[in-house]
């Protein structure tokens, strides 16, 4: 029985490693925020493909994805980072808690910029304007990851 169980666990681990973002082994709050980030990532990817023309441009889908990103921003994001929560396999940097103001400002920017994108897409603004708003959302990911995420 034990051996079968071990094989199942191993199989599940391999599957998880094959997912878009491998965060196998994460539990608790670290898993929660990795899941939130992965959801953000999926929405960004979907908008990106529409902006680039790889997928059909659909302002309704862009607005929905923008809204989905905004939900994860601001306090919803910062509350997933209780002080010192660096359990493996977290890629979070300890700088988050020494520079909390910058970190929470970036979390707020993520929400504001995603809502701005949603509003423009809802209003069916021209593609160039929507693309510009998307660029601002993407810039917050980059700034925060550069400062507060350690790629392992």
Torsion 101-102-107-109 (CA) sign = positive
Site string for ligand HEC, 75-114 (x = CB under 6 A): --x------------xxx----------x--xx--x----
* 147 class by beta-carbon count within 10 Å (0-12 exposed, 13-18 middle, 19+ buried): middle
Q: Applying CB under 6 A, what is the total number of residues that bind ligand HEC? A: 26
For position 41 contacting ligand HEC by CB under 6 A, the verdict is yes
Cβ–Cβ < 8 Å for 40, 72: yes
- Ranges within 107-146 binding ligand HEC (CB under 6 A): 107, 110, 137, 140-141, 144-145
Both structure tokens of 61: 């889908």
Rounded to whole angstroms, the Cα distance separating 58 from 24 reads 33
For position 40 contacting ligand HEC by CB under 6 A, the verdict is yes
CA angle centred on 45, ends 25 and 65, rounded to 5°:
100
Cβ–Cβ < 8 Å for 40, 69: yes
For position 37 contacting ligand HEC by CB under 6 A, the verdict is yes
> To the nearest whole angstrom, how small is the minimum distance from the Cβ of residue 103 to ligand HEC?
5
> To the nearest whole angstrom, how small is the minimum distance from the Cβ of residue 78 to ligand HEC?
7
Closest to 103 in 3D by CA, of 144, 149, 146: 144
For position 62 contacting ligand HEC by CB under 6 A, the verdict is no
Residues near ligand HEC, by CB under 6 A? 21, 23, 30, 33-34, 37-38, 40-41, 44, 69, 77, 90-92, 103, 106-107, 110, 137, 140-141, 144-145, 148-149
């Amino acid at each position: 029985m034990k051996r079968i169980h071990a094989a199942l666990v191993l199989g599940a681990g391999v599957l998880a490693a094959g997912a878009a973002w491998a965060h196998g082994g994460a539990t608790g709050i670290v898993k929660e925020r990795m899941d939130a980030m992965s959801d953000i990532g999926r929405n960004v990817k979907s908008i990106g493909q529409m902006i680039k023309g790889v997928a059909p441009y659909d302002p309704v889908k862009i607005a929905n994805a923008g809204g989905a990103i905004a939900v994860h921003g601001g306090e919803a994001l910062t509350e997933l980072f209780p002080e010192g929560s660096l359990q493996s396999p977290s890629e979070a940097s300890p700088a988050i808690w020494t520079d909390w103001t910058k970190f929470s400002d970036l979390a707020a920017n993520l929400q504001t910029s995603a809502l701005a994108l949603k509003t423009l897409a809802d209003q069916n603004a021209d593609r160039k304007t929507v693309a510009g708003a998307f660029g601002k959302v993407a810039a917050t990911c980059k700034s925060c990851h550069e400062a507060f995420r350690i790629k392992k």
